[in-house]
Homo-oligomer: A and B are copies of this chain.
Amino acid sequence: MMRTIVELQQQLAPDLLEVLKRRYRILQQVGQTEYIGRRALAGVLAMTERVLRAETDFLKAQGLLDIRQSGMQLSDSGRQLLDQLAPTMKELAGLTELEERIRSRYGLRKVVIVSGDSEASEHVKRELGRAGAQVLRGYMAPGDVVAVTGGTTMAHVAGQLSSQRPLADIRFVPARGGLGESVDYQANTIVSTMAKRTGAQYRLLHVPDHLGEEAYQSLMQEPNIREIVEVIRSARIVLHGIGDAMVMARRRKEAEPAVAAMRSEGALAEAFGFYFDRSGNVVHRMPTAGLRLEEIQTAEVVIAIAGGRGKGEAIAAVMRFGHDDVLITDEAAALEMLRTFEADADEV
């Protein structure tokens, strides 16, 4: 498989691509306007004045921008560069467009798409994690409680999360108890990794995820359990993965009748312990000593992160549930989501 130069560069210098993208956006925007001023431009591009200024100073030094007292404009070589750069940048801009389409169709606040297919490439999975970590960092504010689920994707987020200054007033908590999985991918483990990497606080929930009603009730009588559960339920930010319903059911060792019932009800996706059909209806739930639907609905920022072509449909299902604010996914899954959307539209 031949990878494009952009993908190669994304591996060797992902943050540099962001710079490239930003400068390109500036050139593009300036190109669309006759004369535009720094502050006006900063407004359009949603940058602060100073950052934009650093870039325009640079672009001016490169001779790509003419800056005069009446505003700025592309120079001849700037316009020329913009044209020549277009095909290369389409790859990046293409994702931006894809992001916007997914965003508006599923009514989300924000969508971030990394290029590639995380099923096919370990590197894309890491990229997904990086993007997730970056988004999460952007939303965290002092005093926040961040509830996090498990999974390999989330483990990647944890691995890419960092902070120079310790965020001592942020608490990470698991959204749910433990699954019978490798310890590396359990919510508890991930929570502790995230907290360590950012210098934040964390609380763990040492309770099996899969509980009968009775056991659940009696556990909830325990004061120390209650306390941490209350913290969890106060989460302002929820960061969760999305799984395939049947795979998750098996992993959770759901009873066979329940699995059969779910299947017949069209269970397709799983997220934070709930099972969804393709329309985003909850078809199965389990008593949990963690986040309930209420908290998902009331949490201020619900961030979903999942990728891989095979997960496209599942992601679409959960997005239709309608309580997510932000989605971080990969190109393959995003394209699959669009296809799903269009197929459904045709049916109607």
By a beta-carbon cutoff of 8 Å, the part of chain A in contact with chain B is 3, 5, 8-9, 11-14, 16, 19-20, 23-24, 61-64, 77, 81, 84-85, 88, 122-123, 126, 159-160
Is there an interface contact between B13 and A9, defined as CB atoms closer than 8 Å?
A: no
Contacts of A20 in B (CB 8 A): 9, 12-13, 16
Q: How far is the CA of A11 from the CA of B11 in the complex (A)?
A: 21
Copies of this chain per assembly: 2
Interface residues of chain A: helix, strand, loop or mixed (majority): helix
Is there an interface contact between A8 and B85, defined as CB atoms closer than 8 Å?
A: yes
- The chain B residue with its CB closest to the CB of A16 is B16
- The chain B residue with its CB closest to the CB of A12 is B23
Is there an interface contact between A123 and B63, defined as CB atoms closer than 8 Å?
A: yes
In order of increasing CB-CB distance, the 10 nearest A-B pairs are: A16-B16, A12-B23, A8-B85, A13-B20, A11-B81, A5-B5, A8-B84, A5-B88, A63-B126, A13-B19
Contacts of A16 in B (CB 8 A): 13, 16, 19-20
- The chain B residue with its CB closest to the CB of A87 is B5
Q: Which of B11, B24, B63 contacts A62 (CB 8 A)?
A: B11
Contacts of A62 in B (CB 8 A): 11-12, 14, 123, 126
Contacts of A159 in B (CB 8 A): 61
Using known A-B contacts A16-B16, A20-B16, determine if residue A8 contacts B88 with beta carbons closer than 8 Å: yes
